[in-house]
Amino acid sequence: MDFTTVKGLENLGNSCFMNSVLQCLSHIKPLVTAVVENTKIESSNKEDRTAKFQKFLREHFKTYFSSSSSSIAPEDLFYYLRKVNSRLVPGRQQDAHEYLVGALSLLEDYFKLEKRQKIFTRVFGGRLVSSISCKVCKHASNSYENMYCLSVVNNLKCQEIESQTPSLEEALRQYFRTETLSSDNKYFCDRCKRKVEASKQYRISDRILQC
């Protein structure tokens, strides 16, 4: 497959949100290769969402890279929207992030069934580290959470969102800023054996997001 290929995706009726996600997924080489090369997963359950989505996505990838047309229509995936996320209705304007999260959830289930979870983790996975440091004894405590997306806008203060549209850079700065835990929100330090002031900060460990 030639991953320099760029094709248009036809608007099937307010389907731009889905098309934008499919364009991103179509250019993640390890994902496309893993999905296209695997043809053995066939579920006896005709309502198996994971198997059906994988089948439709595989056919989309194959058509995307083999068709001589300058644009293609991902109709099967479009009419499967409700199975990806029950809130998504064909023909209505929807949120691309909601579609992406639903699609990634089905892809993760698919790779788990195939016992190839490492492929999904390598492409999309990361670990969010929450680090809390006691301001008295300086002891640091880290907790880890697996993730494949960040809700950066949710971390911005309401007044900042209302006053101006934040840039991605500003949203990330706010998300990873150092927060002071004090007053009623003090941290219980295991070494000091009491509630103390502490600093808290998030950071990404091991991986960066692919799209």
Q: How far apart are CA 171 and CA 86, in angstroms?
A: 29
Q: Residue ranges of the chain with pLDDT lower than 50?
A: 44, 158-159, 161, 209-211
pTM score, two decimals? 0.72
pLDDT by residue (tens digit) across 42-83?
554 555 888 899 999 999 999 999 988 999 999 999 999 999
Amino acid identity at 79: Y
Residue 121, pLDDT score: 84
Count other C-beta atoms under 10 Å from residue 123's C-beta: 21
Q: How far apart are CA 13 and CA 148, in angstroms?
A: 29
Residue 18, pLDDT score: 95
Q: Which residues pair with 9 in a beta bridge?
A: 72
- Count Cα neighbours of 92 within 13 Å in the Cβ-side half-sphere: 9
Count other C-beta atoms under 10 Å from residue 107's C-beta: 23
